Amino acid sequence: MPSNKSVSDAPIVQFTNCRILRSHQLQREDLWVREGKILNPEKLFFDEKGSADIQLDCKDSIIAPGFIDVQINGGFGVDFSLATDDFKSGIDLVSQKILSHGVTSFCPTLVTSPPSVYHQVLPQISIRNGGAHGAGILAGAHLEGPFISKEKKGAHPEHCLRTFEEGAFQDLLATYGSLDRVRIVTLAPEMKRSSEVIRELTKQGICVSLGHSVANLSQAEEAVQDGATFITHLFNAMLPFHHRDPGIVGLLTSDKIPAGRRVFYGMISDGIHTNPAALRIAHRAHPKGLVLVTDAIAGMGLAPGRHTLGQQVVEIDGLNTYIAGNCGTCSVSPCFPGTKTLSGSVATMDTCVRHFQEATGCSVETALEAASLHPAQLLGIEHKKGTLNYDSDADFLMLNDSLYVQATYIAGEEVWRQKVLGM
């Protein structure tokens, strides 16, 4: 047998009997992995004269890139917007738990909070690769607010909202404390001085997202021309589509987008936040920009009841999550019944992928890429994440034909597998 030792002593693993998502198609071929990377078998055979050390039968599974969640506020009882002494253990718990739902990378998201929370939490977010310990935090945090519209604040606490004052970017820096561990900032582009903030954030390599906003289309287009590239949870917390001025939604078909630029948009495909018809409209208007996000809160994975979202208390009833209300007549604050203001989701990413595919009737490939390739492109990491191209990171999933996750791999190592009943 030819030796593999000429290039590396690391074992070569060959995944057989599978359908691989590559170049936008499911292709029936084997997947080769060494040292956490996807190998080109032709180079292995002809240049290295190598062969597999280990063969794994995938039993006709789909192999797709690992999911990337760019908007997740917490889960399993952990709220990323709460400054606690054991914040690190909380984020470790979430990163471990989401492996079973196919998420191999994520951006921990903080909702509108007092400056003290950002100053305490952000230094505790470590940008790191994924592994057996959990999904990777590869690009940094997503800061959703506090520079957003009062009229479209949604579940964000009004007393923490801020506007840009003189020296707008310095004001933002003072609020957050540092941008070292920040990858996405959601803001309302209609706010005064937002243009200079967008330009400076973009210059520093931070993705600017438009959301929680009453911006009209021209204001949104100007923000994109200044460097914004993302829309936070399309349709939610923004002006509804109107035929004379479609607002931020109009960016999906705008002819004012700079050449070579793509606008991406997040969609919460949980069956609650967005009607299936709205999902279909967005997808058909701009399929290559759609990014599935969970917008998950601390209550994801927990029983119905009261949980937190930053400074707020929320009520969970099935897949519905609402800001808890206060009747003003009892000593419990807040008390039930609550408001009808939606406050994030409790749906997992694999659930969102399945719902999206069912609601839109799109191909399996399209549904999987909306949770992998597109968020990787948004973050500018598609050369190593979100694809199964040769030399990319071997972060991938095994799924059945119904898109249920059977196993999760990071850097070519199995980090989670569905238990088989009776085993």
List, in sequence order, the alpha helices (H) in 153-216: 168-176, 194-203
Instruction: Give, rounded to a whole angstrom, the gap between the first and last alpha carbons of the chain.
Output: 35
Of the candidates 69, 226, 270, 295, the residue annotated as catalytic is 295
Contact 248, 236 (CB under 8 A): no
Annotated binding site for Zn(2+): 144, 212, 233
Query: How much is the CA Rg of the chain, to the nearest whole Å?
Result: 22
The conformational region for residue 69 under phi > 0 = left, psi -120 to 50 = alpha, else beta, is beta
CA 304 to chain centre: 23
How does DSSP classify residue 312?
E
Contact 318, 346 (CB under 8 A): no
Could you tell me how many residues make up the chain? 423
Query: Nearest to residue 50, comparing CAs of 20, 13, 17?
Result: 13
Helices 217-226 and 194-203, packing angle to 10 deg: 30
Cβ within 8 Å of residue 283, ≥6 positions away: 290, 356, 360, 362
Beta bridge partners of 20: 27, 63
Query: What are the tokens at 273?
Result: 């936040």
Q: Is 295 one of the catalytic residues?
A: yes
Annotated binding site for substrate: 155, 236-237, 244, 273, 342-344
Annotated binding site: 144, 155, 212, 233, 236-237, 244, 273, 342-344
Give the catalytic positions in this structure.
295
